[in-house]
């Protein structure tokens, strides 16, 4: 038994995302701004990893490099062993933005089905989820025909999470998805997100500027320093797998928050 465990540990698991010496520079000539500077990071398969840092530290930029929205100026990124562009075309990852980013003229169910309607529906494949099931997963069944304007902020963000899950992505990229919501809704969605992550086995890369949210959600938190940004430190969060509302106020979470704050101040 112990031997088997040893063997499993010995097998080097291929990381879901490999980031090697990645730098991003915006602008030309004198107006050049280096957003991130030679960052290297591996995201393990199935891991919940959070990027945290001061605003403008380049955490969203790094996420956009993974999502193939921004090309790195230097360095190399591999998503599931391929270039980000290939992973994007194969629908290996989904992205959730800070704003719900819904089509205001389309119903909830049409918004959730959008990934199947554009970019060559064949990419969806057999493993895709029924849009109605995705809505059930975010507890929005019954709102299929509502328009986004009829929903609250939290409900809209749930719709955008359902849209991200509907392709059953191997990786979920989330750019401050709950930062525009009030604290009560944020707490609730944190717990729901953890449930979804558990059930789906997806790798999650989560960007936030809330220390508490980072510590509560993650297995590992990457703290990014000030611009031009490098990694200031990585903190493993060794909290029980089952995380609930009680943990939000628990002293052990507070200790992690304090440790993260110390790392941020150093960076």
Partner 1 sequence: MSIANTSDVKTSDMTVFASIGQFAGVARPVVMGLLGLFVLLALWQFLIWVLETPVYLVPAPSDVALAVRNDFALLASSSVPTITEAFLGFLLGNCIAILVAASFVYAKLIEEMFYPVAIIIKTIPIVAIAPVLKIMLGNGIEPKVVVAALICFFPTLVNAVRGFRAVDPQLVELMHVLSASKTEVFMRVRLQSALPYIFSALKISVTMCVLGAIVGEWIGANHGIGYLLIQSMYEFDTPRLFASILTASFIAITGFAIVSVLEKIVIRWDAASVT
Of 15, 148, 177, 267, the one binding partner 1 (CB under 8 A) is: 148
Of 104, 126, 241, 265, the one binding partner 1 (CB under 8 A) is: 104
Could you give the CA distance from residue 41 to residue 17 in angstroms, rounded to a whole number?
8
| Residue 180 binds partner 1, judged by CB under 8 A | no
| Residue 26 binds partner 1, judged by CB under 8 A | no
| Residue 69 binds partner 1, judged by CB under 8 A | yes
Residue number, 155 or 253, with CB nearest to partner 1: 155
What is the crossing angle of helices 108-117 and 153-165, to 10°?
Answer: 30
Residue number, 96 or 224, with CB nearest to partner 1: 96
| Residue 257 binds partner 1, judged by CB under 8 A | no
The stretch near partner 1 (CB under 8 A) out of 30-38, 62-70, 176-184, 233-241 is 62-70
Tell me the closest approach of the beta carbon of residue 56 to partner 1, in angstroms: 18
The stretch near partner 1 (CB under 8 A) out of 75-83, 95-103, 178-186, 235-243 is 95-103
Residue number, 92 or 212, with CB nearest to partner 1: 92
| Residue 190 binds partner 1, judged by CB under 8 A | no
Residue 45 C-alpha from the chain's centroid = 13
The stretch near partner 1 (CB under 8 A) out of 5-13, 94-102, 207-215, 256-264 is 94-102
Residue number, 117 or 198, with CB nearest to partner 1: 117
- Integer-rounded Cα Rg, in Å, for the chain is 19
Of 91, 158, 186, 243, the one binding partner 1 (CB under 8 A) is: 91
Residues in the chain: 267
Residue number, 18 or 110, with CB nearest to partner 1: 110
DSSP assignment of the chain equals -HHHHHHHHHS-PPPSEEEEEEEEEESSGGG-EEEEEEEEEEE-TT-EEEEEESTTSSHHHHHHHHTTSS--SEEEEEETTB-HHHHHHTT-EEEE-SS----TTS-HHHHHHHHHHSS-GGGG-TTPPPHHHHHHHTT-TT-TT--GGGS-HHHHHHHHHHHHHTT--SEEEEESTTTTS-HHHHHHHHHHHHHHHHHH--EEEEEES-HHHHHHH-SEEEEE-SSSB-EEEEEE----SS--HHHHT-HHHHHHHHHHHHHHHH-
Could you give the CA distance from residue 201 to residue 102 in angstroms, rounded to a whole number?
25
By CB under 8 A, the residues from 109 to 128 that bind partner 1 are 114-115, 117-120, 123
Residue number, 101 or 219, with CB nearest to partner 1: 101
| Residue 33 binds partner 1, judged by CB under 8 A | no
Using CB under 8 A, count the residues that bind partner 1.
27
Interface residues toward partner 1, by CB under 8 A? 64, 67-69, 88-89, 91, 93-95, 97-99, 101, 103-105, 114-115, 117-120, 123, 147-149
């Amino acid at each position: 038994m112990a031997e088997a465990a040893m063997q499993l540990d010995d097998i080097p698991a291929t990381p879901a995302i490999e980031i090697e010496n990645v730098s991003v520079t915006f602008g030309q000539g004198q107006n050049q701004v280096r957003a991130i500077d030679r960052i290297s990071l591996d995201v393990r398969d199935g891991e919940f990893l959070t990027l945290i840092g001061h605003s403008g530290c380049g955490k969203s930029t790094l996420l956009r490099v993974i999502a193939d929205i921004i090309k790195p100026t230097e360095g190399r990124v591999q998503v599931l062993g391929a270039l980000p562009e290939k992973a994007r075309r194969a629908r290996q990852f989904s992205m959730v933005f800070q704003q719900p980013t819904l089509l205001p003229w389309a119903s909830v169910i049409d918004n959730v089905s959008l990934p199947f309607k554009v970019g060559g529906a064949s990419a969806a494949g057999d493993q895709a989820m029924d849009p109605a099931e995705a809505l059930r997963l975010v507890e929005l069944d019954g709102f299929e025909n509502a328009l986004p304007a009829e929903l609250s902020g939290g409900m809209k963000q749930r719709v955008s999470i359902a849209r991200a899950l509907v392709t059953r992505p191997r990786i979920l990229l989330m750019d401050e998805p709950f930062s525009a919501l009030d604290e009560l809704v944020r707490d609730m969605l944190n717990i729901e997100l953890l449930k979804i992550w558990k059930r789906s086995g997806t790798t999650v890369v989560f960007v936030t500027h809330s220390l508490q949210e980072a510590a509560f959600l993650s297995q590992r938190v990457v703290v990014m320093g000030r611009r031009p940004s490098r990694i200031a430190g990585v903190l493993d969060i060794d909290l029980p797998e089952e995380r609930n509302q009680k943990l939000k106020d628990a002293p052990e979470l507070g200790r992690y928050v304090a440790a993260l704050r110390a790392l941020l101040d150093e960076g």
